[in-house]
Structure 1
Amino acid sequence: MYVNDNNGYFPPYVVNGKGDKKGQRTWFFGHESTKAGTAEGDRDLDKTAGPLYPYIQEVGKIEVCQGFNYEGALWKEKFKGASYGYGYNWLLGGRSGGAPMHVSQVRSAAKVILFGDCGQVNTFQQPASPSKPMIEEFYILSETENTAHFRHNGSANMLFVDGHVESFKPYPGSTDTRIKGETVGRIAAKGDTTYFK
């Protein structure tokens, strides 16, 4: 629906603020108005100000995956509370600050992922550390990053541009299993863009 309403373009992955709005960002799922430097978990997010908001019937339900363990002791917040449990194919969204793709540039709507189960193992931002890895929501599904989150009995669900869903197992050798019970990895070999453009 968004693509139809926006001349065939996918929503931007993120738009960075300029001038007096520097440090503020509008993600595909909401607007972050918190000042730059605010610690993760303390950042504000206005979900009604993201480009996808008009297409989500119930904010607080559809964009938060019930399979993500938000109550776990090793869950690390990105914003104040759960924000978005699915990653976006950021090649479609123009990566960080680039121009979103037009639907005519997609090789095959039945072969290119739009959204999917996503997460990240964080060891570099408090309260996480190398000795205390934590799982957090993440927003990028890409051809290079280990961010597919296999949280459904060892599988990750991916929504394709044409609207169908497929379940994937981790690509061999890609998994990060530093957190017991959480598996994060890729669905294809590193650099393989088969599912991304």
Structure 2
Amino acid sequence: MRIRIERVWGWVRAAGRGYSIMELMVTVAVISALGSLLLPALSRARAQTRQAQCLSSLRQLGLACALYWDDYQQRAFRYRTGKHRDGVIYWFGWLQDGREGERAFDPAAGALQAYLTPSTVGLCPSLRYASSAFKLKASGPAWGFGYNLNLSAPPASPAIDLSLVADPSRLGVFADSAQINTFQLPATPERPLLEEFYYVHQDEPTVHFRHEEKAQLVFADGHASGERLRLEAQDLRLPAARVGRLPAEKLILQPGRGSSR
């Protein structure tokens, strides 16, 4: 009788004979080893995809800003416009007053909405809304980026003139943003929670370094880059959230020639 020989996973066996326990154990071990090698790579690939989507949104915001400035004689919009109905109009839209996590939100009232498509451009896929350490401000996800508060003139002052900025390539306009809340339920001092936040400033920890401990920001000239979290600038009330401050030179206005400031 002729016996047919087959090679399986490097083992030689006679046709019709089942696998031995040793063969099965080796096969399982090989598959497990391959899985342990592939899973981190897949995780990094997903993170890089989310980071790319976020960067695309920031660049769209930068372009929308440039179009707005062209239409309004290079004047920057304010962070907050004022009260409307039972809420407030901010640069990103109208947010109702009321309980945290239950407030209505309408992006149509935002300063840049006429220049933005699609409407989801304000959301970052790396902001983990489903986390137990996260609290909503509106009834659902609203906005994931912060506006440079230095560009928002006080209510009684003229709007900031961007044409007088010395070097637009060094002035950050939008960045990944969030803050640690300890004062609005369900957050407490004993249970700090991460939440959306809508402006960034060199003196406040409201920048979210959510892309492998980097925050992405777009500058007034339209280019975007990442900034690494510095330990001395981190909000240590919730270290795992990776919230902190950007260096002042990324956000402070530096007037150029022709400025009286």
Same-fold call, TM cutoff 0.5: yes
Give runs of ≥4 in structure 1 deviating > 6 Å. Answer: none
Q: Residue by residue, what CA displacement relative to the aligned partner does 1:56-114 show, whole Å, maximum 9, x if unpaired?
A: 1011x211011111111111111121111000001112267864311123231100001
Structure 2 residue 187 is the aligned partner of structure 1 residue 124? no
Superposed, 1:85-96 pairs within 5 Å as 85-94=144-153
Partner in structure 1 of residue 64 of structure 2: none
Equivalences, count: 187
Residue pair 1:25, 1:31 contacting (<8 A) in 2 also: yes
Residue pair 2:172, 2:219 contacting (<8 A) in 1 also: yes
Question: Which amino acid letter does the alignment assign opposite residue 54 of structure 1?
Answer: A
Structure 2 residue 89 is the aligned partner of structure 1 residue 26? yes
State the distance in 2 between where 1:127 and 1:39 align: 10
Aligned CA distance change for structure 1 residues 103 and 180 (closer, same or farther; 3 Å):
closer
Aligned CA distance change for structure 1 residues 84 and 97 (closer, same or farther; 3 Å):
farther
Structure 2 residue 206 is the aligned partner of structure 1 residue 147? yes
Residue pair 1:70, 1:82 contacting (<8 A) in 2 also: yes
Gaps of 5+ in 2: 1-66, 254-261
State the distance in 2 between where 1:132 and 1:165 align: 34
Cα offset, 1:124, TM superposition? 0.7
State the distance in 2 between where 1:101 and 1:135 align: 31
State the distance in 2 between where 1:98 and 1:127 align: 37
Q: Residue by residue, what CA displacement relative to the aligned partner does 1:150-195 show, whole Å, maximum 9, x if unpaired?
A: 100000001101111111112341112433531111122xxx3553
Partner in structure 1 of residue 48 of structure 2: none
Residue pair 1:13, 1:96 contacting (<8 A) in 2 also: no
Q: Residue by residue, what CA displacement relative to the aligned partner does 1:39-60 show, whole Å, maximum 9, x if unpaired?
A: 122221111121111111011x
Superposed, 1:1-197 pairs within 5 Å as 1-17=67-83, 21=84, 24-32=87-95, 34=96, 36=97, 38-59=98-119, 61-94=120-153, 99-179=158-238, 181-188=240-247, 192-197=248-253
Residue pair 2:172, 2:250 contacting (<8 A) in 1 also: no
Residue pair 1:16, 1:23 contacting (<8 A) in 2 also: no
Return 88-97 or 135-144, whichever deviates more. Answer: 88-97
TM (norm. structure 1) is 0.87
SS in 2 for 1:121: strand
Larger radius of gyration: 2
Gaps of 5+ in 1: none
Partner in structure 1 of residue 53 of structure 2: none
Aligned CA distance change for structure 1 residues 170 and 53 (closer, same or farther; 3 Å):
same
Question: Which amino acid letter does the alignment assign opposite residue 29 of structure 1?
Answer: F
State the distance in 2 between where 1:106 and 1:22 align: 36
Name the % identity: 30
Q: Cα RMSD between the aligned structures? A: 1.9
Residue pair 2:148, 2:172 contacting (<8 A) in 1 also: yes
Question: Which amino acid letter does the alignment assign opposite residue 112 of structure 1?
Answer: L
